[in-house]
Structure 1
């Protein structure tokens, strides 16, 4: 009888599932169909540096590499989903137009400063023709929020809020009365300029109720997200991405590269094409991020 053929991929463990996580070993394209709408997506490669099997050799191939992934992120995301996109500077700049075209709104760029220990002993001052690189970057994106209008179109959230109030036929100044404020509604929540400020759900609910009582009669509830049900404060607040501020934490993260117990080592597998003879001290992932990130 012929020997049974065992494929390498069949030896891999199945997905590991816990109460709060599922660890998938394999192509993430196979995992996307089982995704629940994420609060946060963290992307860590490809980088265009031959950093793992399947990585591109330069930034030139990154748009094609990322296209199916960005399509799935966009399909699975909810209005409040955030994205952290790790890459090199040129890698991020190359993929940025693709992210924007798929509804991701750029917020800011964070730099991980690894310090001089990252390049210690690896720089030849006689031959190098640029500054040694001790950084990676991570760009923060959020979903670009658009909401449906009465005529079947869509507007950005700032324009939509203003349009919904104008639909009531009430002057803008009455929004201050609706919110119980001196001028914050007209100066922040309903302004058309760069001073616009995202209104708390409580204020949107107040404006909707006020417009219902004092504005033009309408079959479409004012400030309704789906055009049928009245807006509630909790529903409005859920549209905004989560952000927990920490005093003293800026867009430059200074932390040495991983050389402690967090570092995964010793798989004895070539983690990247440029890793030729892996040893027990070789990293399993060249760009592993610290847990405190």
Structure 2
């Protein structure tokens, strides 16, 4: 990848933006721009850790939950059932923010551990003073937007509860769901069970259930399994009711990948520009796993726009914001360099 070069320039003003490739970079606080961004399929969050890692990062993780609360609510408000949220942090930082994410409507799906390897601390550990094992990891939690459904009487239900209530509304016995789906017992055992073995019904099965209930169930003005209470359900609409997942065999939730060094590390006058720059390959993995070409990716805390670079490479559209003008300038230069676009050293338009 071409190296980013720096020169004397007037840094972008807060509130300005520029589209570079398929990435739109904003200068300022992301909270001021969310309403201008298209609904996201992926939200990639690599913000404050509470370790004094960069200007504005708190000294401890104590205040992270309060700091993230308005962002978590805004992300949930903009999200769809297809949206995946990836949240980076230290173990304690993520643990403290998790209740805020949960309260905002985000459903925890799993935790990934980035193992940077022993080289990350090699030569930097004083065995006489250290009082614990050297830390070579960060965590990245995956969340989905918690889906809620309104029943005929106006009650808000989870997807599992709603599926069962809609079938019972038809007046048909539960065992008939198997006949509707053309299976022996999988429908009652997976799609309509009340225990932890519940399984998201495939789109083709949902279409069959809706059609069967309409034909054989009680007459009703409200279509069975309608997502809006008025429009009949289709397989296509149901397919968009959960997050995307493009599986890659052999990849687990432990990511062994060295911290970046060499040409990928952005420097100015021999000094790194941002201490929390992530490996591009790592961010590409997240985006590839939970989105498709043409989808929208949000990165509220751009840093050096690694997410934007990944989005440009992978054919996604990215909206990202960086609050520090000097870092926003470096991010814009990096995006331009990646695309081999002549760098405009004036303000972002």
The TM-score normalised by the length of structure 1 is 0.90
SS in 2 for 1:60: coil
1:96 Cα deviation after fit? 0.5
8 Å CA contact 2:15–2:26 kept in 1: the answer is no
1:281 Cα deviation after fit? 2.6
Q: Distance in 2 between matches of 1:133 and 1:10?
A: 36
Partner of 1:98: 100
After superposing the two structures, state which structure 1 stretch, 24-33 or 110-119, moved more.
24-33
SS in 2 for 1:109: strand
Q: Distance in 2 between matches of 1:11 and 1:233?
A: 47
- 1:287 matches 2:276: yes
Q: Distance in 2 between matches of 1:162 and 1:261?
A: 55
SS in 1 for 2:271: coil
Partner of 1:183: 185
The TM-score normalised by the length of structure 2 is 0.76
8 Å CA contact 2:106–2:144 kept in 1: the answer is yes
Q: Distance in 1 between matches of 2:125 and 2:212?
A: 67
Partner of 1:222: 224
Partner of 2:250: 248
Within a 5 Å distance, the mapping from 1:33-182 to structure 2 comes to: 33-182=35-184
Unaligned runs of 5+ in 2: 1-9, 283-349
Distance change (3 Å), C-alpha of 1:12 and 1:224: closer
Which consecutive aligned stretches of 4+ in structure 1 deviate over 2 angstroms post-superposition? 8-14, 18-21
Partner of 1:28: 30
1:91 Cα deviation after fit? 0.2
1:180 Cα deviation after fit? 1.1
Q: Distance in 1 between matches of 2:96 and 2:233?
A: 39
1:13 Cα deviation after fit? 9.7
Q: Distance in 1 between matches of 2:262 and 2:84?
A: 29
Q: Return the structure number with greater relative CO, CA threshold 8 A, min gap 6.
A: 2
Unaligned runs of 5+ in 1: 1-7, 267-279
1:203 aligned residue (202, 205, 227): 205
1:161 Cα deviation after fit? 0.5
The structure that has the greater radius of gyration is 1
SS in 2 for 1:222: coil
Distance change (3 Å), C-alpha of 1:114 and 1:174: same
1:14 Cα deviation after fit? 4.0
1:16 Cα deviation after fit? 2.1
1:122 Cα deviation after fit? 0.8
1:205 Cα deviation after fit? 1.0
Number of equivalent positions? 273
Partner of 2:17: 15
1:20 Cα deviation after fit? 3.0
SS in 1 for 2:201: coil
1:198 Cα deviation after fit? 0.4
SS in 1 for 2:56: coil
